[in-house]
């Protein structure tokens, strides 16, 4: 089939012949028409239209040593976090004329090489949202001068690779501050995200800082595993309830976990927030649909994706990027924490 195709598809030579110019000229009108005489441009464009010519992308890449596609490596395509992030990246890429190549790494095999398709020859740069790529591989690419930007994770020791994420720590701290100061809770639990997840790490840090600032003890038994996953979180809550753990409020780590917590609590016949308050993080659409509506922290997930794409493209084209972009977050007060106002309240909105 490809044989036939290549016979049917016009090349730059066909266009040149029909327009009565050299292929160099056709190439110029493709890349920068201003350097070509207007009449010539017109003739060439007519020929392109008549033949329905489309330049061969791989040939352009090879000849120009430039490619207009960026790669995205991530570990998992799921959850409500993923769509806005990807939408942001895609928008950022498209605005600058770049295409997006996606590669999801199976979770099991951590620490691997770059798949050839995302390699330094196929892609102008790489967005990394996973830790299942070996530090050595990141280092190798970095030493090659291959542009990379990290999303929601930090660079391997000693490598100055730009990172984009949002204010997890401050957001979590303010959220817990609110629970303590405005709601009067003392025994507040925290559910961790997946092992090694840096968003989770900083949220936990914010949680701890808030407790410490208020001279409350950080109780190990109040820190459980939620995995940023509804069912995992529900499972932890079921266990806690069985054990008769005494908690006033649960900071579920993210909204997905919070949804699981809410379900588990309801299933046990407990009322939210009367019996136990629940709060999340991210403010994904889901959080509004929970009953009661979820108090959470609004995270600019889409903007982070967008910024990451922009930084990467800047790195590719100009050679520079912000070392660290930390986007602000805002606490969103809804009913699940004990608030009784009709409307949601945004704390710290400017």
Partner DNA sequence: CTGAAAGCGCTTACAG
Contact pattern from residue 107 through residue 146 relative to a second copy, giving x for each residue in contact according to CB under 8 A and a dash for the rest: --------xxxxxxxx-----------------x---xxx
CB distance 69 to 100 below 8 Å:
yes
> Among DNA, a second copy, none, what binds residue 27 when CB lies within 5 to 8 Å by partner kind?
DNA
CB distance 81 to 299 below 8 Å:
no
Size of the site for DNA (CB under 7 A): 35
For residue 73, give the 3-state DSSP assignment: strand
| Residues 305, 192: Cα–Cα separation, whole Å | 23
> Among DNA, a second copy, none, what binds residue 90 when CB lies within 5 to 8 Å by partner kind?
a second copy
Q: Give the binding range for DNA (CB under 7 A) out of 22-30, 136-144, 175-183, 236-244.
A: 22-30
Confirm or reject binding of residue 39 to DNA (CB under 7 A): yes
Nearer to a second copy, 104 or 241 (CB): 104
Peptide bond into 273 cis (omega under 30): yes
Closest CA to 276 of 259, 296, 251: 251
Confirm or reject binding of residue 271 to a second copy (CB under 8 A): no
Angle at 227 between CA 85 and CA 84, to 5 degrees: 10
C-alpha distances out from residue 341 to 71, 271, 345, Å:
45, 18, 8
Max Cα-Cα span within the chain? 85
Which positions from 178 through 217 interact with a second copy, judged by CB under 8 A? none
Least Å distance between CB 94 and DNA?
A: 20
What single DSSP character describes residue 228?
T
Which stretches of the chain bind DNA, using CB under 7 A? 6, 9, 11-13, 20-28, 30-31, 34-40, 53-56, 59-60, 62-66, 121
Which stretches of the chain bind a second copy, using CB under 8 A? 1-6, 8-9, 52, 54-59, 61-62, 65-69, 76-80, 82-84, 86-87, 90-91, 94, 99-104, 115-122, 140, 144-146, 230, 259-260, 262-263, 266, 285-286, 288-291, 319
């Amino acid at each position: 089939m490809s044989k036939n195709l290549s016979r049917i598809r016009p090349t730059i030579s066909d266009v040149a012949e029909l327009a009565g110019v050299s292929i160099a000229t056709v190439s110029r009108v493709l890349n920068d028409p201003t350097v070509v005489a207007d009449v010539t441009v017109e003739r060439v464009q007519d020929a392109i239209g008549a033949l329905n010519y489309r330049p061969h992308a791989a040939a352009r890449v090879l000849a120009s040593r430039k490619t207009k596609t960026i790669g995205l490596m991530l570990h998992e395509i799921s959850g409500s976090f993923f769509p806005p992030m990807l939408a942001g990246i895609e928008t950022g890429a498209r605005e600058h004329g770049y295409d997006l190549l996606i590669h999801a790494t199976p979770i099991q095999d951590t620490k691997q090489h770059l798949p050839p398709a995302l390699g330094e020859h196929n892609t102008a740069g790489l967005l990394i949202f996973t830790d299942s790529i070996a530090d050595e591989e990141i280092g190798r690419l970095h030493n090659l001068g291959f542009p990379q930007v990290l999303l929601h994770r930090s660079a391997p020791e000693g490598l100055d690779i730009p990172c984009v994420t949002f204010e997890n720590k401050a957001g979590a701290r303010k959220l817990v501050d609110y629970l303590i100061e405005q709601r009067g809770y003392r025994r507040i639990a925290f559910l961790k995200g997946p092992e090694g997840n840096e968003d989770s790490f900083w949220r936990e840090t914010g949680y701890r800082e808030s407790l410490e600032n208020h001279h409350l003890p950080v109780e190990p038994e109040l820190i459980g595993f939620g995995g940023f996953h509804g069912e995992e979180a529900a499972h932890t809550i079921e266990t806690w309830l069985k054990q008769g753990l005494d908690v006033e409020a649960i900071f579920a780590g993210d909204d997905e976990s919070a949804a699981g917590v809410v379900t588990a609590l309801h299933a046990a016949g407990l009322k939210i927030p009367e019996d136990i308050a629940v709060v999340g993080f991210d403010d994904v659409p889901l959080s509004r649909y929970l009953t009661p509506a979820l108090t959470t922290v609004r995270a600019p997930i889409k903007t982070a994706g967008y910024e990451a794409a922009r930084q990467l493209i800047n790195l590719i084209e100009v050679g520079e990027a912000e070392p660290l972009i930390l986007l602000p977050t805002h606490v969103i007060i809804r009913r699940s924490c004990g608030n009784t106002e009709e409307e949601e309240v945004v704390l710290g909105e400017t």
